[in-house]
Chains A and B, each alone.
Chain A
Amino acid sequence: MVKLAWCLVVVAVVGMAIALVAQPAAAQGQMQMNQTQGQPAEQPRAAGEYPNVGGLRQFAAESNYMSLPGYLRWQVFMEQKVWLSVPEAKRIVTEQAGK
């Protein structure tokens, strides 16, 4: 009888342990599902290429008295609410100028 009771206790403890270990794994699996099912890794969003500021004069009215990378950053922020980093903006402006 005592043995049976001990067996039940052991089974209960092991069962709880399995449940505790399995729960996060299941939750993680569910999270993966939510993140991935039908969802592309790179989410399509409507927007085009970055504005071409290559033909503008910098530090003039047409660039709002900014540098061209600065003006590009302002344009992108206005349209997409995303700030390009300064080095990124410089690189893109250089590309746009065909250099």
Chain B
Amino acid sequence: MVIRARGEADRDGAGRQVTPSGNRMTCAKPCPTARLRLLRRGRSLVWMLAALAAASIRASAAPAIGAYLDLAGMPARAQADELARLVDSGVTTLRMPLDWNRVEPKPTRFTWKADDTAVNAARARKLDIVLVLGPNAVWAVDPAWQVPAKERRYSLPKNIKVWERYVRQAAMHFKGRVRSWQVREQPNARNFRGARSEYLRVVASAARALRAVDPSANIIVPEAGALDIAEMDRICSSDYKASCYILGAYLPSANGPSETALAWAVVSSKTCSVATAHKPVWVLGADSAISADSWMEQYLLASAYGSPRFYMPAAAVDKSWASVLSQLRYSGHLRLGPDVWALVYEDASGPVVAAWSDGDGGTMVPAGDLAPIADADAVRQAATPGGEPGSAVAMDGGTTKLRLNHRPTLIRGLNTAAVAHSGAPRPEDVLAGRPAMAPDPAAPVSVDYGRSDSPERGLYNRSLRNRVGGHVAEEMHNGRMCLRTKIYSGPGEAELDNPWIYFDVDDRWLYFAQGKTPVAITIECEGSSAGEEKLGFNIWYDSTTGYRFSPWQWVAAGSDWKRYRVELPDISFADRYGYDFRINIKGSTQDVWISSVTVEKLPAQTSRVAARSAR
């Protein structure tokens, strides 16, 4: 049994000890090794250390659980039943659309009846209300834009003053009853048919109107979706931060807890302007449906990172766990091994560890691995929220084991103060918990499918081949194993068109660079067989100002292998939309055969956006 400090991670291999079961237990704080020895030497010392650690750990309030539903669109009886269910489940706040089409069906004709009824019914249950301004009134859209009728609600008003009038009327009508206002729902390319600059003007206009009526109004500016920390950073480092009191985040349904925790950790760190601008981040929901287990994990993570509110669709609120988890106040974290999360909370009964495994098939943790902080009796009572005591415990060959899977398990009666570190896991803590070997931060990362041993070294494409336009193939060509695009340009062939090769660099190598770490991408490919200016590419990459293209680069004619190097000075590489860059060959008249791609870090002062032939 070893308690390993995070600061010792680089000593792995030489000095790392593991339990007989192979699990390691780590605490996030760099624990002095001397302290670990003391833990084993005497009970009195253990208690002394526990007391010292406990003094430094202060539990923070749990996020308020909120539900998102269109209460005003429901029949009265269903409203009452649903409100009763939600309140009984621990919900204390509601987020509801204030559909512009409903309250102003025709210009200047306002009707508030349905929304009044809903707001009053919710307030009668002592629920705090957030109203979402939007979607757009269909009559306010410029007909000249030719937006299809069913999509007009996602467009924007021709005249911003009409929008401002709706916001002002709403603010006046609900003044004293509603204090928090969100500007549109997940304003991304599908839910907002406009440019980013147009959305930001809508935000600024709404903020102006709301403040004129109620200077104490909370204005929530939502990010586009999938916990886009780069966009949140952009808002908080721009003039628009003045229009935003609270940032709204949508959890990425495709990501596991490790990716979400990394985003939370960065947003909470001083490197991100969200933290330095002191903007609270509320969870507004998820970008699409997620499982009950994921809601629990995400709630526990949001709690760890101090998010004050956590909204989910009303249908996802489940009393069996919501009423339990909403009582937990976060205090610290442990590590029980790769793929295992163990966050420490407190409730009225004392410390509670919420643990789960995000590995496929789950993880069995022997009760003995928890020896310094728990006796076997405590472990034997472990259960999922709402589950019977002991339901998360299994006997395996006479040994008591915790059976951890995606559904969090609660373990009570532990002396966590001895090992848990207060504060949420930092980015380096989250990254250190990832199971695969980390790439050398100073060496380039690359893909070369001709390498039989680990063709993807810190740079990944295989996991991204199911993305749209990115169904590329590994094929032997001209003596080398290559990546090959498949371009189709004929009518009706869009589904077959795969002109993009997606890449993601390992987050431990580079993540959320904020333009401070330029990179050079070197692409080795076969020359153009169709002649000059027939094959070319550019790179579509996650920059500090959103995704953008590098300059176009022609591939010279020939059957030999050619190398091209593209320098990118302004990268973000924050996994926005799930990848960092893609090679785009659309505009070529033939496919490309790429034998290797290498990404290297450059000194900050030498870079500029440039593409040139390496030889």
- Chain B residues with CB under 8 A of A85: 145-148
- Whether the Cβ atoms of A48 and B549 lie closer than 8 Å is no
The one of B153, B198, B545 that contacts A95, using a Cβ cutoff of 8 Å = B198
| A45, B151: Cα distance in complex, Å | 14
Name B587's contact: one of A33, A36, A62 (CB within 8 Å).
A62
Assess A61 versus B587: contact at CB under 8 Å? Given A46-B253, A77-B494, A85-B147.
yes
**CA distance in complex: A33, B185 (Å):** 20
Q: Are A36 and B226 in contact (CB under 8 A)?
A: no
Among A49, A80, A88, A95, the one with the most B-chain Cβ atoms within 10 Å of its Cβ is A49
Q: Quick check: A45 and B147 within 8 Å, CB to CB?
A: no
A91 near B145: Cβ-Cβ < 8 Å: yes
Q: Is B385 an interface residue (CB 8 A)?
A: no
Q: How far is the CA of A85 from the CA of B134 in the complex (A)?
A: 22
Specify which chain A residues have a CB less than 8 angstroms from the CB of B155 in the assembled complex: 88
A29 at the interface (CB under 8 A from B): yes
| Contact assessment for B73 and A49 in the assembled complex, using a CB-CB cutoff below 8 Å | no
Residue of A nearest to B95 (CB): A40
With contact pairs A35-B73, A48-B228, A78-B469 given, residues A42 and B186 touching in the complex (Cβ less than 8 Å): yes
Which residues on the A side are within 8 Å of B226 (C-beta)? Answer: 46
Contact indicator B313/A45 (Cβ below 8 Å): no
| B191 sits at the interface (CB 8 A) | yes
Whole-angstrom distance between the Cβ of A53 and the nearest chain B Cβ? 8
| A63 within 8 Å of B (CB atoms) | yes
CB distance from A98 to the nearest CB of B (A): 8
A residues 44-72 near B (Cβ < 8 Å) are: 44-53, 55-57, 60-65
Tell whether, in the assembled complex, residue A38 and residue B69 are in contact, meaning their CB atoms are under 8 Å apart: yes
Chain A residues lying within 8 Å of B190, measured Cβ to Cβ, are: 45, 47, 80, 82
Do residues A48 and B576 form an inter-chain contact, with CB atoms below 8 A?
Answer: yes
Chain B positions 239 through 252: 1 when the CB is less than 8 Å from some CB of chain A, otherwise 0: 00000000000101
A65-99 CB contact bits vs B (8 Å, 1 = yes)?
A: 10000000000111110101111100110011010
Q: Which residues of A contact B551 (CB under 8 A)?
A: 62
Most chain B CB within a 10 A radius of its CB, from A39, A41, A55? A41
Number of interface residues of A (CB under 8 A): 47
- The closest CB in chain B to the CB of A87 belongs to B145
Known: A39-B313, A43-B191, A95-B197. A88 touches B145 (CB 8 A): yes
**How far is the CB of A26 from the nearest CB of chain B, in Å?**
9
Give the residue of B74, B185, B195, B549 whose beta carbon is less than 8 angstroms from that of A62. B549
Which one of B281-289, B448-456, B501-509 is at the A interface? B281-289
Q: Is B185 within 8 A of A42, CB to CB? A: yes
- In the complex, the chain B residue whose C-beta lies closest to that of A78 is B469
Can you list, as one digit per residue, whether each of B485-504 has a CB less than 8 Å from chain A (1) or not (0)?
00000000010010000000
Contact B587 A47 (CB under 8 A): no
**CB interface residues, B 581-612, toward A, < 8 Å:** 586-588
Measured CB to CB, the closest approach of chain A to B261, in angstroms, equals: 19
Given the interface pairs A46-B254, A48-B547, A96-B195, the reply to whether A76 lies near B587 with Cβ below 8 Å is: no
- What's the minimum C-beta distance from A2 to chain B, rounded to whole angstroms? 41
Complex interface: chain B residues within 8 A of A46 (CB): 188, 225-226, 252-254, 287-288, 577
- Say if the beta carbon of B536 comes within 8 Å of chain A: yes
Please indicate the chain B residues that have their CB under 8 angstroms from the CB of A51 in the complex. Answer: 540, 547
Count, chain B residues at interface, CB 8 A: 73
Residue of A nearest to B252 (CB): A46
The answer to whether B106 has its CB under 8 Å from any CB of chain A is: no
* B469, A61: Cβ atoms closer than 8 Å: no
Find the B residue at minimum CB distance from A49.
B196
Contact B97 A41 (CB under 8 A): yes
- Which residues on B sit within 8 Å (CB–CB) of A91? 145, 194-195
Q: Which residues in chain B, 503-546, are within 8 Å of chain A measured between CB atoms?
A: 533, 536, 538, 540, 545-546
Are A61 and B154 in contact, with the CB atoms below 8 A? no
Tell me the minimal C-beta distance from A40 to chain B in angstroms. Answer: 6
Q: How far is the CB of A89 from chain B (nearest CB, A)?
A: 10
Point out the residues of chain A lying under 8 angstroms from B55, CB to CB: none
With A36-B73, A38-B314: A62-B552 Cβ-Cβ less than 8 Å: yes
Give a binary string over B103-137; 1 marks a CB under 8 Å from any A CB, 0 the rest: 00000000000000000000000000000101100
Judge if B144 is at the interface, Cβ distance under 8 Å.
yes
A39–B68 CA distance with the chains assembled, in angstroms: 8
Chain B hits for A64, CB < 8 A: 586-587
Q: Mark B9-41, 1 if CB is under 8 A from A, else 0.
A: 000000000000000000000000000000000
Task: Establish whether residues A36 and B74, one from each chain, have CB atoms under 8 Å apart when the complex forms.
Answer: yes
With known contacts A78-B469, A84-B193, A92-B195, A42–B144 Cβ distance under 8 A: no
Please state if A48 and B189 are interface contacts (CB–CB under 8 Å): yes
Chain A contacts of B97 at CB under 8 A? 40-42
Contacts of B68 in A (CB 8 A): 38, 40
Contact at A45–B194, with CB atoms within 8 Å? no
Known contacts: A36-B73, A88-B145. The answer to whether A42 contacts B154 by CB under 8 A is yes
> Are B69 and A45 in contact, with the CB atoms below 8 A?
no
* Residue of chain A at shortest CB distance from B312: A38
Task: Name B313's closest neighbour in chain A (CB-CB).
Answer: A38
Contact B224 A47 (CB under 8 A): yes
Q: Are A45 and B225 interface neighbours, CB within 8 A?
A: yes
A36 lies within 8 A of B547 (CB): no
Complex Cα–Cα for A37 and B467 (A): 31
Distance between Cα atoms of A88 and B306 in the complex (Å): 40
B149-168: CB near A (< 8 Å → 1, else 0) gives 00101110000000000000
Determine if B82 and A37 form an interchain contact, defined as CB atoms under 8 angstroms apart: yes
Please report the C-alpha to C-alpha distance between residue A38 and residue B286 in the assembled complex, in whole angstroms: 13
Bound Cα distance from A76 to B97, whole angstroms: 27
Distance between Cα atoms of A51 and B586 in the complex (Å)? 15
Measured in the bound complex, the distance between the Cα atoms of B549 and A61 in whole Å is 13
Complex alpha-carbon distance, A80 and B548, angstroms: 18
Q: How far is the CA of A95 from the CA of B199 in the complex (A)?
A: 11
List 24 contacting pairs A-B, 8 Å CB cutoff, sorted by A: A37-B74, A37-B78, A38-B69, A38-B315, A40-B132, A42-B134, A44-B191, A44-B286, A44-B288, A46-B577, A47-B577, A48-B189, A48-B228, A48-B231, A49-B189, A50-B195, A61-B536, A64-B587, A76-B189, A85-B147, A88-B193, A91-B145, A91-B195, A98-B197
Further pairs besides A42-B97, A47-B191: 16, Cβ < 8 Å:
A32-B74, A33-B74, A36-B74, A40-B97, A42-B132, A42-B134, A48-B228, A49-B189, A51-B547, A55-B549, A62-B538, A79-B469, A80-B190, A82-B151, A88-B145, A92-B195
